[in-house]
Amino acid sequence: MAITSRLKTTKAKLSNLESNKDIIKVAAIQMASGPYVAANLSEAERLIEIAANQGARLVVLPEYFAIMGLKETDKVAVREEEGKGPIQSFLAKMAKKHKIWLVGGSIPLVSNFPNKVRNSCLVFDDKGQLAARYDKIHLFGLDLGNEHYHEEKTIESGDAIKVVDTPFGRIGLSICYDLRFPELYRAMKDVNIIVVPAAFTETTGRAHWETLIRARAIENLSYVIASAQGGYHLSGRETHGNSMIVDPWGVILDRLPRGSGVVISTINPQYQASLRNSLPALKHRTISAI
């Protein structure tokens, strides 16, 4: 009788968790973008529609979703001023049309230098209004074998951490290489969701991507939505893909190894709260984030 009673109690708890009205569907979109903005926006529109039709209310696009140029300077030629331009108009239109919160991966915005851009993550609410902007702080540099990347040559770094309050909780914004700097996420102060739009190289992604994503989820007891570029690009670059959604315990809820597509899962604030109560590591910190 005692065992039966415990089973009934457990089933009731699971039922309550599943019926929690705060549970939402979220989606990470994976692309293999090329050098033509119009073609990339058309593909993004197709994938956003798939995500929305599956019930996603928060959708995250990858870094450089609108352009992966033949040359690093190609993005400078299509940079936009905040509030103006076809890429931003597209994001606002998609968010409003599908009544979703849309995280625009990253797009090139004007900087203080004529030969550089700000690599900016823009968040639009379900009415199509700009809710937040984050400019990538950490700029990728790599000299490994035949691979050479120096983002500082075409990108002006940002200098401000950004968290946005949404109907789904507090969302911390980051982009790609930021993932290697855990102090950034500590400084976000108790976020519910972390987004990481990215274009990790195949070399570094194969070695570190999953480990870093899961680590950021575990150490912050946060959901992580990591939307990536995944495949071969006309420039000859290969990106790692493996877009994924990870829960606060570090469990991968869904993933897509390669190619264009949609990764989708649910986020459960009640489950997250229970984990934070059971393992209050965020309250046990004795060293403040710098």
| Active-site amino acid positions | 63, 136, 176
Determine the Cα–Cα distance for residues 255 and 236; give it in Å rounded to an integer. Answer: 24
As a three-state string, the secondary structure of 108-136 is: EEECCCCCCEEEEEEEECCCCCEEEEEEC
In 3D space, the residue among 147, 151, 173 whose CA is nearest the CA of residue 162 turns out to be 173
For residue 60, what are its two tokens?
Answer: 């995250």
Say if CB 151 and CB 178 are below 8 A apart.
Answer: no
Determine the Cα–Cα distance for residues 172 and 6; give it in Å rounded to an integer. Answer: 38
Dihedral pair phi/psi, residue 162, rounded to 5°: -130, 125
Q: How many CB atoms lie within 10 A of CB 281?
A: 12
